[in-house]
Amino acid sequence: MPKIISISKLNYAYPAEEGKAPHPALHDVSLEIEEGEFIAILGHNGCGKSTLAKHLNGILKADSGEVTVFGMNAADEEKVLEIRKNVGMVFQNPDNQIIATVVDEDVAFALENLGVPYPEMVERVNEALEWVGMTAYRRHAPHMLSGGQKQRIAIAGILAMKPKCIVLDEPTAMLDPQGRKEVMKTLLRLNREIGVTVILITHYMDEAVQADRVVVMGEGEVVLDGTPKEVFQNVGLLHSLSLDVPQTAELMYALRQEDIKVPIAVLSVEECLDELEKQLGGIGK
């Protein structure tokens, strides 16, 4: 798969406010992202993950280092529309990214900005609503919808631009479990079925384990980078970064400390059952 985003030695510090020192946020971050990947980025608040995300479509500009997206420098003012069309971004609070008072008009917002002609615009709005499963709500007022539905509308608004990559900054943090599942299902579908590259910033481990790749950040640096299995192997390190570990891995880790030979990176209930049955081998049955 071709590389679509490459970040090399990126440094960024937030400019100093009155009477305060500049606040460093990213330190020598290097990362390569391939087309079609589903990447989860983990890390506690203030570790630099949102700052990193905002570099991917030129909302923030690097102090040093370089961010290349689809062969363009992400900070290039000349190509800003081209970059944002290709790297869509969804934020945490669904209320604060919906602009219009009717669902389909909101989905059309980016297309209006890009000057897409009317017939094509209607087609793309319909298509985007279909992908997020919100067609039935096209004439609804956004503020009457649930959090999960609003967030899917926000995703549709990005999807209408036909981006190759979507970056989501904690899109599920303000949602209930139902809404979280809806959003996650939508993202997986977009990734698997139309090959959109997804970069998902999250605090929820059950979301991270569904990604192809997990990147863990701490204090402005990339600490771990690998498949979920590789990353969740490091239970001790993740604890020290005050991150959650899936409960199943946590259980395996606890058993390991009792000298029971089980693998640690066990991420699903089914897998955990298999491992436990191997150990128990019918005891007490």
Partner 1 sequence: MIKDITLGQYFPGESFMHKMDPRMKLILTLFYVVSLFLVPDFWGFAIVGALMLLIIIFSGISLKVVLRGLKPLMFIILFTAFFNVLYGGGEPLFPEIGWLSWLKAEGVRNALFMIVRIILLILGTSYLTYTTSPVMLTDAMERLLRPLKAFKLPVHELAMMMTIALRFIPTLIDETDKIINAQKARGADFETGNIFRRAKALIPILIPLLISAFRRAEELADAMECRCYHGGEGRTRYKVYSFGWRDFLALALMVTVIGAIILLMIF
Partner 2 sequence: MIKTENLSHLYSEGTPFQTTAIEDINIHIPKGDYVGVIGHTGSGKSTLIAHFNAILKPTSGKIFIDGQDLWSADKKTRIQTRFDVGLVFQYPEHQLFEETVYKDISFGPKNMGLPEYEIHKRVDKALDFVGLDRALLDKSPFDLSGGQKRRVAIAGVMALEPKVLILDEPAAGLDPRGRDEILSRIRDYHRETKSTVLLVSHSMEDVSRNANSILVMNKGRCVMHDSVPAVFERAEDLVGMGLDVPKITRVFISLREKGYPVSPNVYTVEQGKDELMKLLRKGGEAND
Chain centroid to CA 22 = 27
Q: Which residues, at least 6 apart from 17, have a Cβ–Cβ distance to it below 8 Å?
A: none
Minimum Å distance from CB 60 to partner 1? 10
Among partner 2, partner 1, none, partner that 244 touches (CB below 5 to 8 angstroms by kind)? partner 2
Q: Which residues, at least 6 apart from 194, have a Cβ–Cβ distance to it below 8 Å?
A: 131
Among partner 2, partner 1, none, partner that 261 touches (CB below 5 to 8 angstroms by kind)? none
Give the β-pairing of 38-42 and 3-14. Answer: unpaired
Name the strand (E) or helix (H) holding 239: helix 235-240
Please tell me the count of residues contacting partner 2 according to CB under 8 A: 37
277 binds partner 2 (CB under 8 A): yes
19 binds partner 1 (CB under 8 A): no
Q: Which of 40, 41, 103, 125 binds partner 1 (CB under 8 A)?
A: 125
Report how far residue 216's alpha carbon sits from residue 33's, in angstroms, rounded to the nearest whole number: 14
Neighbours of 142 (CB within 10 A): 20
Nearer to partner 2, 197 or 210 (CB): 210
Report how far residue 190's alpha carbon sits from residue 70's, in angstroms, rounded to the nearest whole number: 19
Report how far residue 217's alpha carbon sits from residue 26's, in angstroms, rounded to the nearest whole number: 10
Report how far residue 108's alpha carbon sits from residue 128's, in angstroms, rounded to the nearest whole number: 10
Minimum Å distance from CB 248 to partner 2? 6
Strand, coil or helix: what is 245?
coil
Minimum Å distance from CB 95 to partner 2? 12
Of the listed pieces 127-135, 136-144, 179-187, 245-253, which binds partner 1 according to CB under 8 A?
136-144
Q: Which of 22, 46, 71, 195 binds partner 2 (CB under 8 A)?
A: 46
Report how far residue 169's alpha carbon sits from residue 24's, in angstroms, rounded to the nearest whole number: 20
269 binds partner 2 (CB under 8 A): yes
Give the β-pairing of 72-73 and 64-69. Answer: antiparallel
Minimum Å distance from CB 154 to partner 2? 17
Residues that bind partner 1 in the complex, under the rule CB under 8 A:
57, 59, 81, 84-85, 88-89, 91, 93, 95-102, 104-105, 108-118, 121-122, 125, 141-143, 154, 157-158, 161
Residues that bind partner 2 in the complex, under the rule CB under 8 A:
44-46, 92, 146-147, 173-174, 176-179, 203, 206, 242-244, 246-248, 250-251, 254-255, 258, 260, 269, 272-273, 276-277, 279-281, 283-285
